[in-house]
Each structure stands twice: as C-alpha cells, then as structure tokens.
Amino acid sequence: MEAPFRGVIGRTIRDSTPWWPEAVRAPASAPNVVVILLDDVGFADLGPYGSEIPTPHIDRLAAGGLRYVDFHVTSMCSPTRACLLTGRNAHAVGMGIIAEWSTGFPGYRGQISRRAATLAEILRDHAYNTLAVGKWHLTPLPEATAAGPYDAWPTGRGFERWYGFHGAMTDQWHPELFADQSAIDPPPRPDYHLSEDLAHRAIACVRDQQSVAPEKPFFLYLAFGACHWAHQVPAAYIARHRGRYDVGWDRIREARLARQKTLGIVPLDTALAPRNPGVEAWDRLTADERRVCARLQEVYAAFLEHTDAQIGRVLDFLRSIGRLDDTLVMLLSDNGASPEGGPLGSVNARRHLGYEQDTLADLLDALDRLGSEHALNHYPTGWAQASNTPLKWYKKDTHGGGIRSPLVVHWPARIRDGGSLRRQYHHVTDIAPTVLEILGIEAPTVYQGVAQLPVQGVSLAYTFDASGAPTRKVTQHYELLGDRALWHRGWKAVARHDKGADFEHDRWELYHTDADFSECEDLAAKHPERLRELVDRWWAEAGAHDVLPLDDREYERVAASVAARTRTTYVYYPDMARVDRLSAPNITDRSWSIAAEVEVPPAGAEGVLLAAGNRFAGYVLYVKDGRLVYEYVYREGLSHTAVSDRPVPTGRSTLGFAFQTTGARRGRGTVLIDGHPAGTIEIPKTWPLHATSSGVHCGRDGSVPVSEAYRSPFPFTGAIARVVVELSNDAIPDPAGEARSALAEE
C-alpha cells in the first residue's frame, strides 16, 4: 500500500515541502543467506557423513561449520521445498505430495497456500534481494506455460529473479529452462551442463546485485537438479571412479558405517540395517549384473563429485568478494536416495517407470552411453540403500532412509565451533524460523491481507553456541502416499503402507531413536502403550495439519482433472514458446491428426513442422529432401518412420499426419499431402503421454532432437501459418498404464 504524502504542497516550490517515504532497510548486521538444496542425495553420500565420494568443497564447508546428524526432511521433493520456504508443515500449506499429484483437498493443492508467506517474501519486504536458481517444483504444471498464471512461480512467491526449471527432473545436458516467467533454450555450447550453468547463474545474480547495492543483503536459493535422475555428467568425472564400486553395495555400506562411527556421525553401537526387500546380496549377482550395477554407481558418484565442484565455484566467488564470512550457508538434501531405478538400474528411467522396464541386455548395450546425453540412467536400489547408510528404506518412505538428511550450516561470523557435530532433533520446517530469529524478524500474522498460519518450525539457532543443549523440538509428524510416522521426544512410531492395502491393517513399528539410530530394533511388542500413545498423537497431528484423507494413489489422484484439461483441438504457431509435455495433446491410445498449413517457396523448403518429446520418446513431422516425413520414437534406438511417396508441392498446401488406433497401444499412421494419403506406417507399440521427457515445439525441434535424421533445431525454411492437432473421442482407457507412467513424475 502506498504511504500517504506527508509533505506540504503550496502554490509554488518556494512554499512547498517535499517528502519521501522512509526506505525499508534490512535488519542491522543482517547476513546474506544461501540455501543449497541437493536432490535425492542420501544421508551417507557426502564426505563429511561417511562417503568415499570426493566432495572436497562440501568437506571444507563442514570443516568450518556444523554438521547436524539428527536432521530430517519429508520423503519427497515438493513437500520438503514447501516446508523449507515457509516454516510450516507440508500438508498444512497444501503441498502434501508433489505438485503434479494435487487433489481437491486442502493438504494437497499442489501449490503453497497464501496463508503461508515464504521466506523469500518476508526477506524481500525487509530489503533483501531474493534470488532463486534451479529446481522449483512448487507450481501446478498446467500453469507452467506462457499463459500462466504466474502467482505460484518463484517470481510470484517472493523471488525477484529466477533461472531454472519446473517439475521433478530435467535432462542435465539439455534442460527445459525458464528465466523469470519465460521458457528459454539452454545456452548453445557443446560442453554445456545444467549444474555448471546453475552455478554460473548463481554467481552472476550475486555479482550483479553486489555491484550496484553492496549494502543490501541477498537471499540465494540454489536448488540443483543433482542428484535426481537422469544421472548425467562429463565423461572425465566418470573415469575418475572406474572400478571403485566393483566391490559392491554390501562392502560400501559396511565401509561407510565404519567411517560414520569414526567421524562420530552415528553412535558406536549403531547397527547396519538389513538389506531392503528386493536388494540382492552383491555376491549373488551374475558377472554381467555386477558390471552394470557398478558402472551405474560410478556415474552417480561422478555426478555428485561434479555437483560439489559447482558448489565450490559459488563458495569461492563469495570468498573472493569478501562475503563468505558474513553469509549464512545451509546445505541439505530434499529426501533420501531414490529406489526408482529398480533392482538393476535403468537406461531411461522415465520409460523404465512408465511403460517398459529395461532389461539386463538393454543395460549392457548402453554401458558406454551411461551418463551421456544419450541416456537417462538411474542406479539400482542396492546403491540407493548404500546412499542411505546405515538406514532402511528410501525416498517416499517415512523410515530413516526416506527422511534423514545431511545438514551443513556454515557462518564464520557467528559459528565459532567449526567442524563440530550437532545432535539435536530438527526438521526442514525449522530452516525458515532459524533465519527469521537470526534477523530479529517476526513472521507476519497477516500478509498482503491474508491471515497467516502460525510458524510450525522451531529455530535451531540455539544450537550454534550450545552443542549439548537439549533439543527444543518436541514432536514431528510425517506422511507420504500412506506411509506414516511420528517422532516424539526420542521415540518414533512408523508404518510402511503398501499401495492398495487397507490402512487399518498397516503394521506400526516403534523405535527408540535416541538409542537406535538405524531403526533396527522394533519395540512395538515390548511397549504397546507407548506405541498406542504415539499413533493416537499421529492422528491428532494429521487432523490438525490437513494430512487427511489418507491417499495412496499416485497418478490416479488426478486422472480426472487431466482428462478434463484435455482439449480436442490444439492450434500452434511457429516459434511459439515451448509447451510443457503435461500440457501437450494427450495422444495416448486414441486416433488423432496433425494438419500444418504451409507455404513452400519455389526452391523448396525443409525443417520441422511439429515436434513433441525427444530421442527417448516422441514424434515429429518434418520435411527433408523434398519429402514429408513422420517419425515416431518408441524408445531410444527404436522408431517408426513414414516417408511420403511424392514430393511436397511448392506454394500453399496442407501437410499432415493421421493416426488410427487398431488396438490397445498400437495403430497405423498415414502422412497426408493436401488431405490425400502419401505413405503409411504400422506402429506396433505406443507409449503413454507421460513417457515423454520434453515438450512441444512448432516450426523447429528442441535442443534434444526427436529424430537422428537431422540436426536440431532444424527450423522450417518455408512459411507456416499454423499447425492444428485434432484428437478423436475414441481413446482406449488404460488406468493401470497411466498410473505406471505417472511414476516417472517423481
């Protein structure tokens, strides 16, 4: 609200008194704030937490700061990010699950409630410059288009600048990026990698801000895509790890636990949790299976080491401009390590999760492509459990493997006990109140006219100077996809839920986590009264924080709303902004057509008319060598192509394609010139919409081409008036297939 003028206005300047509203200033001695968020990185993956993976820059950060060993997050990315930025529990602010799986219930809105101002909004209003770089994943993906609305984008939730990506994952070599509110292509250079780009942008944002307003503090939220799959990294980094993991995950877990005990990360009597169901003993794998599994872990380790190098670049820059000492840096992971690669891992995790699992033969064939732009690989579950050493279960689970996270806090101007450990129990909801307490800022009770939820986190600032202080946290609840847990004063009740099972029949376990770090000794039978008390408390917390109703559905949660958003006609124009894949025409198991209204000059033309997806799964209609071509990529290395039997005419014409379903997941395609058939192709197997990894482009392809027959972006050199996609109403329902494909959203 604009302040009323408090000066004097006379007839002339001589009898008038000017007045300016007082400028908002940051709190005295306000530090800069940098939050570095890693993705799917397990508790034991960082060097300061017992890993053999080289992380020298994070090691240095930990050596000058504090390591928290009893710090927790939610077990999936969007909920953790919502907690971190608001200081409230995920369900309470509408983000009880990832943004894509929102429902019509308060705890599952798919975006942060306006009843919870974000840390960026509060700091911006206290004269901070607020900068976001990297993954967001807090916007409903149907809104991640050029039509917005933009109120749930970073720039709508307090960040003045944003460079990064929506959604759960992106190709590290060819990401689908946004700058502020616009879809953009990655910089066109041959050695491009997203993590390097994000570090570069973070440095540039701070450099530019400090160059013009060095008196103003900044809040930098740097959220890497690493180490979420796809695990992609420069080959030189992979080579450094060659042979390191031939010993297998069992030996690596044992070695990590031994280092954790030596470092004091875990008590000396900590037990190594048994292998999770589905994880085979390394020695029982065949030679080929061990070879593949070891290589996939080499790539993951390289990916994390490479990410550490980019973190080092940012920290080195802050040091070079004299800002590191007065900057509060907090580094953590958003959840435990991911089991989504399956028992042997995958070459293309989206396909593996969505519609066709990778075989050992696929993995062996791809061995030398892993980590490159020609693979979307993910490691096996055995390595995921190694990442979570010494804990059980994974991401999406509320046991320790899903929710215990490393947390490194570095602030030389305040923290004098560098290199030491903190054992107080804390949670990601405690990050925002920590920052606010340090700055002496009260969280607003009303923000922009909206009454605010009380802050539910507990500041951990008291631990900076008091290593032995008892934790001020009393209770913390957890829920994700029906998995439930509650920690209360050193005890934890937890229930792992199987999808489709009766919630009332879930078995609750009980652990005394103060004495049992790895949750290995279930005390439910010994202490039934305590268990009952904790379970009752969980239900009370669930009711108070919008956790209910319990819901174990994944994509099925939103199948109806996706169907409701599907139009039958889509009209695209050349050089339009990229359309996200979840806003693309849903051609799954239905007849459909493309009609491109073009004008070809007398000398001919070539290029892409319409492209969706990329080399891992997609389709493209293009002109090359004077012929109209439609190519359908079922998976990398397997495509089906129809080429017109006559040249494309010059002048105005309509170039098209029509697909007719001939059964579930199959059909016949025909290229059309002015409505007349010009060539057909049988497509024996099709993928569901969610299998694609890229969006829609008109008049050109994206940075990862659909077809290997041309070099992207291969723009059309004629004129395109418009391209019309029409969907029929003969879709064959396949709820099970849609549900499987949705797993690729994680």
Which tokens in the block code for residue 572? Answer: 């695209």
Q: Decide if pLDDT at 449 tops 50.
A: yes
Q: Please answer whether residues 703 and 575 qualify as being in contact, where contact means their C-beta atoms are separated by less than 8 angstroms.
A: no
The yes-or-no verdict on residue 180 having pLDDT over 60 is yes
Helix (H) or strand (E) holding 538: helix 528-544
Same domain (yes/no): 445, 541: no
- Looking at residue 555, what is its pLDDT? 76
What's the token pair of residue 373? 């732009």
CA-to-CA distance for 311 and 61, rounded, in angstroms? 10
Q: Are residues 481 and 578 in the same domain?
A: no
Q: Rounded to whole angstroms, how far apart are CA atoms 418 and 408?
A: 11
* Start-to-end CA span in the chain (Å): 41
Give the range of the structural domain holding residue 648, as residue numbers without chain letter: 559-745
Rounded CA-CA distance 715/605 in Å is: 10
Task: Provide the total of helices (H) and of strands (E) in the chain, helices listed first.
Answer: 15, 29
The pLDDT value recorded for residue 582 is: 84
pLDDT of 372 strictly over 80 = yes
Q: What is the pLDDT of residue 691?
A: 73
Q: Which amino acid is at 205?
A: C
Which letter does DSSP use for residue 61 in this model? H
Mean pLDDT of the 418-442 span: 97
More confident residue, 563 or 402: 402
Tens digit of each residue's pLDDT (9 = 90 or more) over 581-616:
888 999 999 999 999 999 999 999 999 999 999 999
Domain boundary among 487, 519, 552: 552
pLDDT at 560: 62
Q: Give the Cα separation of 699 and 608 in Å (integer).
A: 5
- The CATH code of the domain that includes 531 is 3.30.1120.10
Does residue 618 share a domain with residue 485? no
Q: For the sheet containing 651-663, what is the strand order? A: 569-572, 719-727, 592-600, 651-663, 666-673, 676-683
**CATH value at residue 732:** 2.60.120.200
Within a domain: residue 21? no
Q: What is the mean pLDDT of residues 507-527?
A: 98
pLDDT band per the 50, 70, 90 thresholds, residue 741: very low
Q: Average the pLDDT over 293-298 and give the result.
A: 98
Q: Residues 616-669: pLDDT tens digits?
A: 999 999 999 999 999 999 999 999 999 999 999 999 999 999 999 999 999 999
Q: Are residues 526 and 625 in the same domain?
A: no
Name the DSSP letter for residue 557.
Answer: G
Mean pLDDT of the chain: 95
The torsion region of residue 225 among left (phi > 0), alpha (psi -120 to 50) and beta comes to alpha
Look at residue 16 and tell me if it is in a domain.
no
- Placement of tokens 């959203």 in the chain: 745
Same domain, 497 and 613: no
Is the per-residue pLDDT at 540 higher than 50?
yes
pLDDT for position 564 = 64
Positive or negative: CA dihedral 335, 741, 714, 230: positive
Listed in sequence order, the DSSP H helices in 64-176 are: 77-86, 119-124
Distance CA 353, CA 81 (A): 24
Q: What's the pLDDT tens digit per position in 336-350?
A: 999 999 999 999 998
Tell me if 49 is assigned to some domain: yes
Q: State the residue for tokens 């290199």.
A: 419
Over residues 106-127, the mean pLDDT reads 97
The catalytic site residues sit at 77, 137
What domain count does the chain have?
Answer: 3
Last residue of a domain, one of 499, 525, 552: 552
Which of 552, 573, 590 is at the close of a domain?
Answer: 552
Tell me the C-alpha distance between 704 and 713, whole Å.
Answer: 8
Gap between the Cα atoms of 108 and 482, Å rounded: 13
Are residues 239 and 99 both part of a single domain?
yes
Residue 40 within a domain? yes
**372 CB neighbour count, 10 Å cutoff:** 17
Looking at the chain, the whole-number percentage of residues with pLDDT higher than 90 is 89
122 in a structural domain: yes
What is the CB neighbour count within 10 angstroms for residue 125? 16
φ, ψ for residue 224, nearest 5 deg:
-70, 155
pLDDT at 561: 65
Question: Does residue 733 have a pLDDT over 80?
Answer: no
Mean pLDDT, rounded, for 327-342: 98
- How many of the other CB atoms lie within 10 Å of CB of 684? 11
Check whether 327 has a pLDDT greater than 70: yes
Whether pLDDT at 563 is above 80: no
| DSSP E strand stretches across 684-731 | 696-698, 719-727
Amino acid at 740: R
Answer yes or no: is pLDDT of 16 > 80: yes
Q: How far is CA 211 from CA 129, 204, 207, in A?
A: 13, 10, 6
Same domain, 54 and 84: yes
pLDDT of residue 188: 86
494 and 453 in one domain?
no
Q: Are residues 124 and 102 in the same domain?
A: yes
- pLDDT-derived band at 746 (thresholds 50, 70, 90) equals low
**∠ Cα 592 597 601 (to 5°):** 140
Please give the pLDDT value at position 736.
Answer: 46
450/487 same-domain check:
no
Regarding whether 581 and 543 lie in a shared domain, the answer is no
In a domain, 17, yes or no: no
**Which CATH number characterizes residue 433's domain?**
3.40.720.10
302 in Cβ contact with 244 (< 8 Å): no
Same domain for 293 and 164: yes
Q: How confident is the model at residue 355 (pLDDT cuts 50, 70, 90)?
A: confident
DSSP 8-state class, residue 187: P
For 42, half-sphere exposure in the C-beta direction (CA atoms, 13 angstrom radius) is: 32
Nearest-angstrom CA–CA distance, 122 and 443: 8
pLDDT digits (tens, 9 = 90+) for 564-589: 677 899 999 999 999 998 889 999 99
Residue type, 274: P
At residue 450 the predicted structure's pLDDT band, cuts being 50, 70 and 90, is very high
pLDDT in tens, 208-251: 999 999 999 999 999 999 999 999 999 999 999 999 999 999 99
Residue 498 lies in a domain: yes
Specify whether the CB–CB gap between 655 and 643 falls below 8 A: no
At 281-295, the pLDDT tens digits run 999 999 999 999 999
562: pLDDT strictly greater than 80: no
The one-character DSSP state at 548 is: P
Q: Is residue 27 part of a domain?
A: no
pLDDT score for 735:
46
